[in-house]
Chains A and B, each alone.
Chain A
C-alpha cells in the first residue's frame, strides 16, 4: 500500500507560537482563524494526501433546481453546508451541485461511519433537498461515487477497483476531452486507468490524468474551505396575509429555530436581531431586538419577540417575515453557552439580563435601568441611571453628607410657592433643620448656589427643600424623606 508522504511544515509554529503574533492553526475549533503566524500566511500548506484516517463524505444534489436563487435566500449549497457544519469542521463546496466534508476526524464522536452517515442524511432530509451521499478516502472519489450513486469505499486499497466501475462521465472535463473519450471507446474509469498515463494525457488532456491521480490519493487535492457568511438572514413567506399574532409567532418560531441551528453550527450567538414584517404595497415594519448579552436561546428570543409584537401595531396584514442577525458574536460567556444550565425557561437558571430584557420587551428600553454613583457634590449629579444594570460598578467614596440625604429624590426640582417669606406646599412648611449650603459647578455650566433645609409639611411628611441664593431666591422641593 502506498503511504502518503507526511511533512510537518508547521512544526516550529505549532510547538512554539511567536509571542507577538498569536497563531491559531488547524481547524479543530470551528471559529474563524483570528490571526496566523508569518509562515502560514506566506506558504501554501499542502493538503494531506489520502491517509488511512481520512474519510470524505460527498453530498450530491440529484435534483438541482435551476431557478435563479432569490437575493435574500442563501444558495442551496450554503444551506446544506450550514446544516452539515455540526458534523465536520472541514467542508468544501463542489459547485454547482455538491459538497464534500471530511468526517474521518468526527467518526469517534458520532459513533462510527454508519451512525454519522445516517445523522448527516437525517439532517439533510430536513432541508427538503434530494441528495445522494457517498464516502471515500479522497474528496474527488467520494464526489464521483455520489454522482454515480455508488456505495461507500472505506479502505483506500479498494478505491481503484471500485472507481473503475464508474462511467467516465462522472469526471466533469471539457466537452472536447469527453468527446475524445467517447471516440476512443473508453466507457468506464477502469478503461482509462488501464492506459499508460502519458498517452492518456496526450490524447485527453492532463486534467483527466491529474483527476484520476487525485481520486486515487496519489496527487494532492487542495480544497478551499467553506467559510460561513458573516451575518445571518432568512425569510419565511406566509401562506396568506395575516394579522394574527399566533400565526406570526409560529412562523417566527421556525425562523428562530433555524437561527439557533445556524448559531450552534458556527459556535456563535446573537446580540442584535432585526425582524421585518412585510406587507403588500407598504413599507415593511421593522422590529429590532437589542439584548444585554449574546444568546442563542430560541425560547428566550421567542418570548421577547412575542412581547414586542404585542406592543407593535401592524399597519397592515403581514405576508412574509425576515429575520436578520447582522453580526454574530463569537465571544460567548459561559452563562450564555449554557453548559451547566439545564434546559431553558426554568426560573432558577435565568439571570438578571434576561429579566431586564423581558421587562424592556414590554415596557420599552428606557423603562428599566440600574443605578450607579458619580463622585459629585451636586445632589442631582451624584448618581446616574445605568443601561446595563450590574455593570460598570465604580468604587466611589461617599461624602459624609450622603447619610443625611433623603432616599426619595424628585427627577427635577419643583418650584414651591412662597407665602409671606415661607415655603408653601399644601400648607406652610415648617423648617426643621438647615441650612446646608451646596454650591458651585461653574466648570460644566450647571453652577448652583443653594441652601438646603429639612422641612415638614402639614401632613407630617418630611421634605428636602432648598432656596436659591442668587436670582429670584425661590424655594424648590428636591427630595422626600420616606
Chain B
C-alpha cells in the first residue's frame, strides 16, 4: 500500500502539501540556483512541456533559457545524443555569431518560420514534429495563439521525447488552462511559477542581468 502511494507521489502527479517532492532529480540545471531549488526535478523538466508567458519580447527570456541550452549542447557535443536545437517561429532572428560566442554551435540550429498568420497552429505542429523526430535536444517555440488540442498534442510529443520543450506565449494566455508540466510567467517584477507538478506556485526574482552583466556573457577562454 505504502509502496503504491510512494510510486504515485514519485510520478509527481499527486503531491502532498507541506512535504517536499519525491521525484528524481533528472532535470536540466537552469543555471539559476533559486529557480533550481523551486523545481522538483532540480532544473528544467525533461520530456515535458514548459510554458513561459511573456509580457513583451526581450524581457530576459533568452537569458533565462540560454544557460540550460548551452549545457544541453555541451553535453550532446561529446556523445551520440541528439544535439539539434529547433527554433520555431522566433519573434526575431537568432543571431548566429552571438550564439556561437556563447557556446551554441550555429550549425546545429534549425530555424523554422511558418509562413503567414499562425492561425492553423503551424508553429505548434512544427514544434511537435521536431520533438517527435528525436533529433532535437531542445525545441523553443513561440506561439501567439494556441488551441487546447494543439497544446495537448505538444505536451504528449514532449513526453514521448527526451527533449526540453519550451513554449513562449503572451501573458494574456495566463487565464487559459494549459496541459504544460511547468508554467512560468516573466514580467518586469520577476519570474512567477504559475503551475508546476509537485510544488506550490511561487514568485521569485532572478538575477537575470546580474548573471550576465550587459545581458551578454562572453564565453570564457
Interface residues of A (CB under 8 A from B): 347-348, 350-352, 354-356, 358-359, 362-364, 366-373, 379, 382-383, 385-386, 389-390, 393, 396, 398-400, 402-411, 433, 454, 459-463, 479-482
Flag if B96 contacts A363 (CB, 8 Å): no
Interface string of B87-113 (1 = CB under 8 A from A): 000111111111111100011111111
Flag if A367 contacts B58 (CB, 8 Å): no
Per the bound structure, the CA–CA distance linking A139 and B107 in Å amounts to: 57
Flag if B109 contacts A370 (CB, 8 Å): yes
Per the bound structure, the CA–CA distance linking A445 and B37 in Å amounts to: 54
Please pick, from A350, A363, A454, A463, the residue contacting B126 in the complex, using a CB distance under 8 A. Answer: A363
B63 at the interface (CB under 8 A from A): yes
Q: Which residue of the partner chain A has the closest CB to B120?
A: A362
Q: List residues of chain B with CB within 8 A of the CB of A461.
A: 56-59
Interface residues of B (CB under 8 A from A): 55-63, 66, 84, 90-102, 106-115, 122, 125-126, 129-130, 132-135, 160-161, 188, 214-219
Per the bound structure, the CA–CA distance linking A385 and B188 in Å amounts to: 33
Q: List residues of chain A with CB within 8 A of the CB of B216.
A: 403-407, 481
- Closest Cβ of chain A: how far from B117's Cβ, in Å? 13
Q: List residues of chain B with CB within 8 A of the CB of A460.
A: 59, 188
Q: List residues of chain A with CB within 8 A of the CB of B110.
A: 352, 355-356, 368-370, 389
Flag if B219 contacts A408 (CB, 8 Å): no
Q: List residues of chain A with CB within 8 A of the CB of B129.
A: 355, 358-359
A355-B135, A370-B109, A408-B62 known; 12 new pairs, CB 8 Å cut-off, are A358-B129, A363-B126, A368-B111, A389-B109, A390-B108, A402-B101, A407-B62, A407-B94, A409-B98, A462-B215, A479-B95, A482-B61
Flag if A481 contacts B58 (CB, 8 Å): yes
Flag if B93 contacts A409 (CB, 8 Å): yes
Are A362 and B93 CB-contacts (below 8 A) given A347-B133, A348-B134? no
Are A350 and B133 CB-contacts (below 8 A) given A398-B100, A460-B59? yes
Q: List residues of chain B with CB within 8 A of the CB of A370.
A: 106-107, 109-111
Flag if A403 contacts B111 (CB, 8 Å): no
Q: Which residue of the partner chain A has the closest CB to B109?
A: A371
Flag if A347 contacts B134 (CB, 8 Å): yes
Per the bound structure, the CA–CA distance linking A313 and B34 in Å amounts to: 53
- Closest Cβ of chain B: how far from A104's Cβ, in Å? 45
- Closest Cβ of chain A: how far from B205's Cβ, in Å? 13
Per the bound structure, the CA–CA distance linking A352 and B111 in Å amounts to: 12
Q: List residues of chain B with CB within 8 A of the CB of A479.
A: 92, 95
- Closest Cβ of chain A: how far from B79's Cβ, in Å? 15
Q: Which residue of the partner chain B has the closest CB to A396?
A: B100
Please pick, from B59, B114, B214, the residue contacting A454 in the complex, using a CB distance under 8 A. Answer: B214
Q: List residues of chain A with CB within 8 A of the CB of B107.
A: 370-372, 386, 389-390, 393
Flag if A404 contacts B214 (CB, 8 Å): yes
Q: List 24 A-B contacts (CB under 8 A).
A: A350-B134, A354-B133, A356-B110, A364-B115, A369-B111, A371-B94, A371-B99, A371-B109, A383-B95, A390-B84, A390-B108, A393-B107, A398-B100, A400-B218, A403-B102, A406-B216, A408-B58, A408-B94, A410-B93, A460-B59, A461-B58, A461-B59, A480-B57, A482-B60
Flag if B112 contacts A368 (CB, 8 Å): yes
Flag if A407 contacts B98 (CB, 8 Å): yes
Flag if B133 contacts A373 (CB, 8 Å): no
Per the bound structure, the CA–CA distance linking A403 and B130 in Å amounts to: 28
Per the bound structure, the CA–CA distance linking A348 and B132 in Å amounts to: 9
Q: Which residue of the partner chain A has the closest CB to B212?
A: A481
Q: Which residue of the partner chain B has the closest CB to A461?
A: B58
Flag if B93 contacts A350 (CB, 8 Å): no
Are A405 and B95 CB-contacts (below 8 A) given A352-B133, A371-B109, A372-B107? yes
Q: List residues of chain A with CB within 8 A of the CB of B122.
A: 362-363
Q: List residues of chain B with CB within 8 A of the CB of A406.
A: 95, 98, 215-216
Per the bound structure, the CA–CA distance linking A214 and B218 in Å amounts to: 82
Q: List residues of chain B with CB within 8 A of the CB of A463.
A: 58
Please pick, from B55, B111, B132, B215, the residue contacting A481 in the complex, using a CB distance under 8 A. Answer: B215
Per the bound structure, the CA–CA distance linking A364 and B109 in Å amounts to: 18
Q: List residues of chain A with CB within 8 A of the CB of B219.
A: 403
Flag if A398 contacts B101 (CB, 8 Å): yes
Q: List residues of chain B with CB within 8 A of the CB of A411.
A: 92-93
Please pick, from A356, A368, A383, the residue contacting B106 in the complex, using a CB distance under 8 A. Answer: A383
- Closest Cβ of chain A: how far from B212's Cβ, in Å? 9
Q: Which residue of the partner chain A has the closest CB to B108?
A: A390
Q: Which residue of the partner chain A has the closest CB to B113?
A: A367
Flag if B96 contacts A403 (CB, 8 Å): no
Per the bound structure, the CA–CA distance linking A480 and B92 in Å amounts to: 8
Are A352 and B106 CB-contacts (below 8 A) given A364-B115, A480-B57? no
Per the bound structure, the CA–CA distance linking A327 and B221 in Å amounts to: 49
Flag if A402 contacts B97 (CB, 8 Å): yes
Are A373 and B96 CB-contacts (below 8 A) given A359-B126, A367-B114, A403-B219? yes
Q: Which interface residue of B55, B96, B129 has the most chain A CB atoms within 10 A?
A: B96
Q: List residues of chain A with CB within 8 A of the CB of B134.
A: 347-348, 350
Q: List residues of chain B with CB within 8 A of the CB of A404.
A: 214, 216, 218
Q: Which residue of the partner chain A has the closest CB to B132?
A: A347
Are A352 and B135 CB-contacts (below 8 A) given A383-B106, A393-B107, A481-B215? yes
Q: List residues of chain B with CB within 8 A of the CB of A482.
A: 57-58, 60-63, 66, 215
Are A359 and B112 CB-contacts (below 8 A) given A371-B94, A403-B216, A462-B58? yes
Are A407 and B106 CB-contacts (below 8 A) given A350-B134, A350-B135? no
Q: List residues of chain B with CB within 8 A of the CB of A356.
A: 110
Flag if A407 contacts B66 (CB, 8 Å): yes
Per the bound structure, the CA–CA distance linking A356 and B56 in Å amounts to: 30
Q: Which residue of the partner chain A has the closest CB to B131?
A: A347
Per the bound structure, the CA–CA distance linking A355 and B91 in Å amounts to: 22
Flag if B92 contacts A371 (CB, 8 Å): no
Q: Which interface residue of A363, A370, A408, A482 has the most chain B CB atoms within 10 A?
A: A482
- Closest Cβ of chain A: how far from B165's Cβ, in Å? 15
Q: List residues of chain A with CB within 8 A of the CB of B99.
A: 371, 407
Q: Which residue of the partner chain B has the closest CB to A404?
A: B216
Q: Which residue of the partner chain B has the closest CB to A351?
A: B135
